[in-house]
A = this chain, B = another copy of it.
């Protein structure tokens, strides 16, 4: 008998590869933070002796969910200025609030709230873009979740940096600091085509190649963005980025709601990834990402929540469902984006986009034990005919009971093991009072 750290016996294991596989009454064996194997429970009992055994007969195990686009600290602005036209919302509410309150302690507390929300929702990895990324990274280290930290670059000065040169200098420092970290990766994060000019974009293209890290960027989020770019550069944003050498298999195009045939060809040609944020796109009335067409063209699609100020939650299980439903509605085909495909976008699709699919994104021997247990015995998921369909269309994040990241049991029976919740609630209240009423 082989001695290992832990065994999880589950009603169902959904490994994610191949994407529609469902294993009933199987066990997941974990040792030193990695998945050893997945096998029938009765075989696991014979083969392994585990230090800890979790018995979850009513639960389904899925790969940890990946939130491939968020601005974590914006949880502190959740619901701040809702139901407004996008430009009024940005210019009159969000940007002034950020201008007034942005600091490393805002980012630290907002990120703590975000990580607490994400872990309890089964998210084991997130791809962030915000100011004070070094603060986000240290909260990530403190709490044990996996993350890709965006090294933000914009043309204009903020409290964090004065000009593109300073943004890029800080980016280099952070990239070097985290290069060898087991849970933290970095990505170059030029905010958007309209907020970063050609020179810094060229530097970013070169750095992405030399450091071999992704470029994480808002792209074609709104029709107006495309129109403005055509006016200013006589090019659609994606054409401009192509000219500047940004497009490659390391490029993540976030939103992509405005795509013509030519744009899709560029994405396909350069093997770019698209990060679909369906709820944010709906709330801000940005348009519809043509997910079924992207998938038909072999383009990898991941899912993101966007920031909590435009969503208003960090819930990838919810985005999966919205993505699956919206694709059907918009394409007029009830068979579009079936449950297994939605789960793929929320797991392995995200890992591929971030270039970490050798480490996470599916339950595969040798990968990190990034695992989520969902209790299927809740009324709202009964009866279970097809567990995959039930997870995507009926389960909610409140049925997530246990979460492991690299084998660390971060959520135990819905209790976060690495956070002081009382302290967190106090900090949220502090910011609520400081920021004041949204009026």
Measuring CB to CB, which residues of chain A are less than 8 angstroms from any residue of chain B? 75-76, 78-80, 82-86, 89, 113, 116-117, 120-121, 279, 281-285, 287-288, 308, 311-315, 322, 325-326, 328-329, 331-336, 338-339, 377, 379-386, 389-390, 393-394, 396-398, 424-425, 428-429, 431-432, 435, 437-438
Contact = CB atoms under 8 A, between A and B. Distances in A.
A334 B89 contact: yes
Given A282-B325, A390-B78, A335 B380 contact: no
A315 B121 CA distance: 19
Given A80-B385, A314-B380, A386-B438, 17 more contacts: A76-B383, A78-B382, A83-B335, A89-B334, A113-B382, A117-B379, A120-B379, A283-B393, A284-B328, A285-B331, A285-B334, A287-B329, A312-B394, A313-B380, A377-B425, A384-B432, A396-B397
B428 A383 contact: yes
- Which of A75, A328, A437 has the most C-beta atoms of chain B within 10 angstroms of its own C-beta? A328
A333 B390 CA distance: 32
A311 to B, nearest CB: 7
Given A84-B335, A85-B335, A429 B398 contact: no
Contact of A82 (B80, B121, B331, B386): B386
A332 B336 CA distance: 23
Given A335-B85, A383-B429, A390 B79 contact: yes
A438 B390 CA distance: 12
17 contacts: A78-B385, A78-B394, A79-B385, A82-B389, A85-B333, A121-B380, A281-B329, A285-B331, A285-B332, A287-B329, A312-B390, A312-B393, A313-B394, A379-B424, A383-B431, A386-B438, A398-B398
A389 to B, nearest CB: 4
Contacts of A116: 379
A220 to B, nearest CB: 15
A229 B312 CA distance: 42
A379 B328 contact: no
Contacts of A396: 396-398
Contacts of A336: 285
Given A334-B89, A385-B437, A311 B79 contact: no
